[in-house]
């Protein structure tokens, strides 16, 4: 029985979140936790997708792509199938999703799924897509999930490594051999990206002459971080993370739970720590050297609702056939 497997990594915004709204650059890094998609033949004339972690399930009629069964989730996958149908006949299959990336944690889970699903199913029906085409199709699915996504998540999930995002364009960054770890610590406080973005924009409109200097500082942090990443200077990267966190605090997206985790990480030996993503809840990231990562992890475990230890993923999307 033919089986295709594909997987794609998650991501963090390492520097520059929120400031991109005013045209400033940001850096995203792919992380080792992955979403896995398995596609295999089965004795049925339907195409069924099942998520082992969430229990979500959706069933398609291959010829028409009519949704026969769904609990309201995974509907974005129909867009991927529509894109692929323009290139090749859609065939029945059993598709199973497993994930190491938590949902709604700011780690790009929906884009990782879209990339892995596109890669696995396109290979199953006999298409040899370039990475650029896989990313483009995944981006169409991301529009269903997020409305107006930046394209950061599907790009980093496809290509891995680190990318610079600036004014709608992407540049792959040269990164030295970083062997230290990132720890993502979730506060458990619900977050709303839309609410956070609007709150920050309102503050900027109120104090533009003050905040333009904060935004310019955020850009300078990104430029310094580019050089530090190329040299694998994790001490400098950590220091820049700390400064970036201060700017995020200044624009009002921090909070007691976030600050607590940020400072616990630093006190326990992290090279740097900061909010990642929208803020006003959600998660922080801490960078820890190999000899201190366990100590930082243990200290955060007593206060965080969820922890993930990760390294940088250099590979991006991966496809296997058996």
On whether the CB atoms of residues 313 and 160 are closer than 8 A, the answer is yes
Answer positive or negative: Cα dihedral of 155, 147, 110, 165: positive
Q: Supply φ then ψ for residue 90, to 5 degrees.
A: -80, 130
Mutual orientation of helices 256-267 and 234-250 as an angle, nearest 10°?
Answer: 160
On whether the CB atoms of residues 310 and 32 are closer than 8 A, the answer is yes
d(CA 20, CA 97): 32
153 flagged as catalytic? yes
In the beta sheet, which residues pair with residue 61? 66
Catalytic-labelled residue, pool 53, 153, 233, 291: 153
Please report where in the chains the tokens 């310019």 appear, as a residue.
216
CA atoms within 13 A on the CB side of 106: 30
Which tokens sit at 72?
A: 């309201």
In the beta sheet, which residues pair with residue 287? 182, 272
Which tokens sit at 125?
A: 């029906």
Which tokens sit at 305?
A: 């609702």
User: Which residues, 6 or more positions from 135, have their beta carbon under 8 angstroms from its beta carbon?
Assistant: 115, 154, 155, 157, 158, 159
d(CA 195, CA 83): 32
- Show which residues are catalytic: 153
């Amino acid at each position: 029985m033919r089986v295709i497997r594909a997987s794609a990594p998650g991501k963090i915004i390492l520097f520059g979140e929120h400031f991109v709204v005013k045209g400033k650059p940001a850096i995203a890094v792919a992380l080792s936790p992955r979403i896995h998609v398995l596609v295999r033949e089965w004795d049925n004339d339907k195409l069924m997708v099942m998520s082992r972690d969430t229990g979500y399930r959706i069933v398609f009629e291959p010829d028409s792509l009519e949704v026969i069964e769904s609990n309201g989730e995974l509907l974005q996958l129909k867009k991927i199938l529509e894109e692929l149908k323009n290139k090749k006949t859609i065939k029945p299959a059993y598709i199973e999703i497993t994930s190491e990336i938590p949902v709604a944690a700011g780690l790009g889970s929906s884009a990782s799924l879209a990339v892995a699903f596109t890669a696995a199913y396109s290979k199953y029906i006999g298409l040899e897509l370039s990475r650029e085409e896989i990313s483009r199709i995944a981006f169409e699915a991301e529009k269903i999930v997020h409305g107006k996504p930046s394209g950061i998540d599907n790009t980093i999930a496809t290509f891995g490594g680190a990318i610079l995002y600036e004014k709608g364009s992407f540049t792959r960054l040269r990164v030295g051999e970083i062997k230290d770890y990132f720890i993502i610590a979730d506060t458990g406080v619900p977050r709303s990206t839309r609410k956070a973005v609007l709150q920050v924009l309102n503050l900027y409109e109120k104090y533009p002459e003050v905040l333009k200097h904060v935004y310019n500082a955020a850009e300078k942090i990104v430029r310094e971080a580019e050089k530090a990443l190329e040299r694998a200077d994790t001490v400098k990267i950590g220091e820049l993370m700390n400064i970036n966190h201060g700017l995020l605090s200044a624009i009002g997206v921090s909070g007691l739970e976030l600050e607590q985790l940020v400072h616990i990480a630093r006190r326990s030996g992290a090279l740097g720590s900061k909010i990642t993503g929208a803020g006003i809840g959600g998660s922080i990231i801490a960078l820890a050297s190999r000899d201190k990562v366990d100590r930082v992890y243990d200290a955060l475990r007593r206060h965080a609702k969820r922890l993930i230890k990760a390294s940088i993923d250099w590979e991006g999307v991966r496809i296997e056939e058996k």
